[in-house]
Amino acid sequence: MFQAATLGLAEDIAMVELRQANIVIIAKAHNPSIVSPDWIRKMLGIAEKPLNFLNTPAFSSFESDSFSLIVDQERWQLGLKKLTEGHIVECGKAASTYVRTLQHIPYTSLGMNYVWRYSPSVSEKGLPEIDVRIGELDPRTVFKEQQVLYGATIVVSFKTHMLRINMAHEDNRAIILSHNFHYDIKNQDPSETSKTIDSFLALSAKSEELTKRLMGEG
């Protein structure tokens, strides 16, 4: 997982690379003051020593070699600096444990987010074209003397969640696809939310598959 997708010969490779992954939990009353390296080790199971650490009643942050945790009263975000499968599993377990243990917090929404970079194989002429129309208007006709690169947003509603995919050009050689799996967890039993977070690894694979399919590689 998370390797370049090989299509044909070794020199003819389309790259699908995971750039970011994080879990965001929105609530009405997170408690930033409880965050400490010892609490992170005991509560979240992250034993790495802090490179940077800040603790205040309103905002706390922790950064280690592999993880980055940011907490204020409304937002709890655990992100990855090392994007291996093992670290993704560990991140999911940490967030799942947090919700399952601190069940008194009034959680409102959950986001599991993945950012992929796609660049085409050497033999291809260029990136897949993203076409945009506003009614009957092709926006390129408004900028006749300039190069126009399109982006796009795809929003898909599922029974349990909403998926938003933003696509934008990084340059003329790559497209960045940001996947947000959004769950409304207001009034949900925290044990159910914990089970949802356990899918963090599976959703990373799903977002990779969707990236390839949207770029015509699937």
Cα–Cα distance, 55 to 61 (Å, whole number): 7
pLDDT, tens only, 14-48: 699 999 999 999 999 999 999 999 999 999 999 99
Distance CA 154, CA 136 (A): 20
Predicted confidence (pLDDT) at residue 10 exceeds the cutoff of 80: no
Tens of pLDDT, residues 92-118: 999 999 999 999 999 999 999 999 999
pTM of the model: 0.90
List of residues 6+ apart from 123 with CB closer than 8 A: 8, 12
